[in-house]
Structure formats: C-alpha cells, structure tokens
A and B are shown apart, each in its own frame.
Chain A
Amino acid sequence: MQEILQYLFSGITSGAIYAVIALGFSMLYNSTDLINFAHGEFVMLGGLTLVTLWAGLGLPLVVALLLSVVAVAVVGAAFQRLAIATVKNPHPIVLVIITVGTSILLRGVAMVVWGKDSHSVPFFSNHAPIDIAGAKLLPQSLWIFAIAAVIIVALQFFFKATLTGKAMEACAVSRRAAWLTGIPTGRMNLLAFIISTGSGAVAGAIIAPITMCSYDMGTMLGLKGFCAAMLGGLGSLWGALAGGFLLGILEAAGVGLFSSGYKDAIAFVLLLLILYVKPSGLLGSAKVQRF
C-alpha cells in the first residue's frame, strides 16, 4: 500500500511537469493552429535562465523567476516575429519544420552560453519531505502543483472571460473571418507565442530543482509534453492537464508494477491505444484536424 501511494506521488510529480508543458502546446494550438516543436527548448531556456539568475547572480527567487519568464517570452516573441510571421505561405508543414529548426538553433545557442554540463539549483523552500502514510511527497512537488494550478486557472479565465482571449480563439477557428471582423490577427498570434513560451519557461523554472538543467533537456520534455497534450486532446486546456497527470502516473505505475526497463514503452503503448480508440484525445473536440 505504501509503495502504491509512493508510485502515485512519483507519478503526479512528473505528471504535473508534463501537464504544464502540455498546456503550452495546447494553448498555442488553440490560438494559432500550430504545433511548436521548439516548445521543449523554451522549457530548457526557462530552467537555465533561472539557474543563471537565481543560483548565479543571487537574485531573490521571485525576481529571478519573473525575470526568467519575461526573458524567455521575449525570445518567444522574437521567434514569432522573425521566423513565423515572415513566412509568405504559412502552410502548417512549413511552420512545423520551422519550429523544428528553431529547436535545433536554440539548443545550439544554449550549449554555447551554458556549456555542456548539467546545472542544479536548490529547492524553492527548504522543508523536509512530507510523510503521508509512509510515502514521501517533496515540497517542490507542491510548488509545481500550485503554480500549474495558477497557470491553468489564469489561462481558462483569459480564454473564457476576456475579449482578447475570445479574439485569440477566434483566430484559431478562422483566421480570415477573425481578420474580417477587425481582430488584429498578427498581434494575437504574437501574444499567443508570448503566453505559450512564457508558460514553458515557468515549467522549466519550477522543475529545475527536481531535475538537473542542461542544454539538451528540452527534447525529451517537449516530447513527453506533446504526448500529454495529444493524450488529453490537443487544444483542450483541461485535457492537457489530464493527459499530463495520466502520462506521469502511467510511467510510475509501469515502473512499480512491471519493470523500469519498459517504463516509456508502457506509457506510449497506452497512448497509442487511447488515440486508436478516441483519436481526438480524452477531452478533445470530436472534429480534430490532422495534417
């Protein structure tokens, strides 16, 4: 029993990480109809910027956290302006390949700036692990849950209750129709990139104390986040959250109940099964576009 609970805690800790990353994917898809395969690299940038600002320059945690999110969002905005908005014929495949290229570029730049070694930062708060029926929960996991919750509530509010959010969603439904009604689609696109990459940076920053940060961490995290988003249904915020937790818990249960050698295999086979039975993902809308 104690073991099962511990697997659950391990699962929801990595699950929360995947969920925050999946949110970035889903949110951007929701507003621009684009899958940003460089998203994992923005997560990496967030983590490494926090390493520099907090551990390196010794800024207070809150300031360092905010500054890293702002810095990464600026990079995200530059990415949208320079690489995405300038494309004359924005066919989805062209844009996806641009994001893949950007991810390679960002990884290379990070390798030059931060070096090839891993970096580590202390936990946000220095409490002992919390003991629940013999299973241990790390205080940093609570930080991750709390920040993930804040992000999703804020995004939900933004999309459902503000005019800007609704305008952004309209751009995804039909860019042309949105433009005809007077929505500045270009600026909406930019804003979507800023929010998405900013949330990626938050993910990178909050997981930095648990995992180690290195220039090549983004690929794996991006892939897991993408899977979580697909699992939950691309474009659905709650789906991203559910998909992330499900993936994390499946992984941990796979290790505990079967073998750690098959950890990723178990999670991905289940992902394939779910997508086979319900192609739009758990909470996705029925008509999903495939390209």
Chain B
Amino acid sequence: MKRKPCLKWNPRGMWTVVLLAVLIAAPALAADVYRIGGLFSVTGPASFLGDPEKRSLEMAVAEINADGGIDGKMLEAVIYDTEGDPQKAVSGINKLINKDKVLAIIGPSTTPATLAVKNFAERARIPLISCAAGIAITEPVTPWTFKTAQNDALAVASVYAHMKNRGVEKIGLLTVADAFGESGKQQLEQQVGNYGLRIVAVESFGGKDTDMTAQLTKIRAAGPDAIVCWGTNPGPAVVAKNIRQLQIDVPLYQSHGVASPKFIELAGEAAEGICLPTGKILVAGLLPVDDPQKEMLNDYILRYTETQKMPVSGFGGYAWDAMHLLAEAMQGAGGDRNKIRDNLEKIDHFPAVSGVFRFSPDDHNGLGPEAFVMVRIEGGIWSLER
C-alpha cells in the first residue's frame, strides 16, 4: 500500500490542496473517488479554527482510505481557504459545487461564513456540515445544512447552571464586539431568566483593544456577584489581567472561545480560578472511564499528536466528526446526495469528539448539554468542575 500525494494548481492563482490517497495495486480512476469539499479559515484571524480543522479533515480522509474507503471507493478532499472572509467562502463554495462537483461539503469554520454559503448549498442540494458554533446555522432547520460544533446556547446553559449552584444572583457581561460575542450576548440575555439570575451590567470591547479597565470599572460599580466574558483570544486574556489589576474580587467566567492552553499562556497568573465551559477534548484524560466519548477522544488525540507533531487543538474535532458522520451516512448511499442527507438525519447514537450526535429531522446539530463540561484553571492546568 502506498500513498501518492498530488498537488493541483488552480489557474485563478488561489492555491488548492488536493490530498489523494490511492492504492497502487488497484489504480483508481477519477470517477471512482468520492469528492468531499472543505471550506476552512486556514489563514487569517480565525486560523486557530481553520488550521486544525483542515489538518483533522485530511487525517480523517487518510484514515478512512487506509481502511478501504467507503463501499470500496476512495475519498478525495478538496479544501479551499476562506481566510475567515464570507465573500471568499462564497467563491469557494461555488468552485466546490460547479468545478469540483463535490458530493458533500464540510465547513466553513466561522458562523458569518457559514450563513453566507448556506443558501448556495441548499439551492444546489448538497449536504453541508458546518464547523461553526452559531445557533442560527441550524435553527431554523433547513434540509441540507448540518453542524458539528456545539451551539453557543449549550455553553451559556453550562455557565448559568454552574453559577446557580454557587449562589450567584447578579452578573455583569463583557462581550467582544464581533459575531461570536454578539451571539453569546444574545444567548446570555435570553437564558438569564431560566436560571433566576439578573444581569446588572452589559459592556463590550473591540477584538484588538489593549485595555478593558474602563469597562470593568463600570461593571464593578454595578456590584455583580460574577463577571462573564465572552470572546476569543487575545481580548479575554487582557480582561483577565485587568481584573487582577483592578483587584476585582468576584469570580470570572470565560466562554468556550478561549478553551485552549494558549489562553492560560497569555493570561499567565491572571488565569487562576477562571471557570469556563469546554468540549470534553480539553480534559479527555480527566474524564471517567464510562464516558461514551472517552475512547473516540483518546483515539483522535493520539492520531493528531502523532501525525501533526503538535498538541491537539479543541477545534479540529469539528471537522473530524463531520467527516466521520458523513462517512457513516455515505455507506450504501452509492453517491446519492438525497440518500446521504436522509442517512445523516437517521444517525441516532454516534459518540464522537465533540459529543454524542443524535440527528433528527428537527435537530441538525444533534448535541445536548452533556457535550460541555465546566472546567476551572488551577495551577496553570484544567481541572474538572462538577
């Protein structure tokens, strides 16, 4: 068995990566492969999502091909870089649909890009499995769009449940002024009543701001029992440092957007004691042995660290799960997109990296609150909260 990598050049000047694993013993003809499209923000500000997702998709394709492919046919991934830009995502999906004629599409990595391309997939009747977190992607449910990343709503629910157990009543919100922060803020404000909590201050900060002490001073004046910061690096690390600096003595909750060792590195000592919701990948080693995801998580982490020679990221799993869910749905479908879509909806119990998927015609995310766990940063490492 030997793999032949093949690099294809796009005349438009945008680079294309085509990973083709071919068995030399039985040379596959072009028609004998199933083409899967990928749209990830491999570079640009959201590269922390797209880069591990691209690597994970390539890993999953290589793994499935090494096991003999799907119904004897090999997989081929065609991946375009969206740079986190919805416009580039749209031109990418048009190429995937019209030029590469892919069977299904995995990605994009971010919510704005997914919302931009969603209708193209719907119109072309191609299954799209997004790797973004925004709840608007699968609510309301549309026939061809699925997603593997946990909804923001679930993360908010985990945070609020944790607060309620600890007797928090008044909270202050500090969210980043971008799509991730806005979506989080919306969920935080929507669900607050369900947990008997009260929001006393709502502030925001820019993604590249260097100092948030003014916002925090205003929040402190409102006297909250806890502060929730919703954003992606580096802003939340600055917030953590500023809270230390102002000596504000209330617990700080962060979002799953900073659930990576990078946050601890950036915030340093100021990260101590911060609680945040995260997918289980970050604390795979701490999970009880009877956890349904433990085996899948360990397998993924081992493969990722071995093949990519770098520590596993919390985000690549979305693409890994998407590929494996798709592979499951493609079994016996004979390359028929309608059948693949129907099979995806029938997936009833699929333990994966991001959670146990249970798709149905009314639920194209398929994850429940148990997909998140609360962790606390203690001594520079994560510890599992109950």
Contacts and interface: CB of A to CB of B under 8 A. Distances in A.
A122 B217 CA distance: 23
B47 interface: yes
B211 A13 contact: yes
A263 interface: yes
Interface of A: 3, 6-7, 9-11, 13-14, 17, 111, 116-120, 122, 129, 136, 138, 207, 210-212, 214, 216-217, 220-221, 251-252, 255-256, 259-261, 263-264
Contacts of A259: 203
Interface string B14-46: 000000000000000000000000000001010
Residue from B48, B205, B213, B218 with most neighbouring chain A CB atoms (10 Å): B213
A255 B214 contact: yes
Residue from A6, A13, A251 with most neighbouring chain B CB atoms (10 Å): A6
A118 to B, nearest CB: 4
Interface string B234-245: 100110010001
11 contacts: A11-B214, A13-B213, A14-B210, A116-B47, A120-B234, A122-B268, A129-B246, A136-B245, A212-B233, A255-B214, A256-B217
Contacts, number: 92
Q: Which 4 A-B pairs have the closest CB atoms?
A: A212-B234, A211-B210, A118-B234, A255-B214
B348 to A, nearest CB: 38
A264 B48 CA distance: 27
A14 B205 CA distance: 14
Contact of B43 (A13, A116, A251, A252): A116
Nearest to B262: A117
Interface of B: 43, 45, 47-48, 51, 177, 203-206, 208, 210-211, 213-215, 217-218, 221, 233-234, 237-238, 241, 245-247, 262, 265-268
A222 B60 CA distance: 42
B210 A207 contact: yes
Contacts of A129: 245-247
A214 B45 CA distance: 10
A6 B238 contact: no
A263 to B, nearest CB: 7
A62 B114 CA distance: 48
Contacts of A264: 206
Nearest to B244: A129
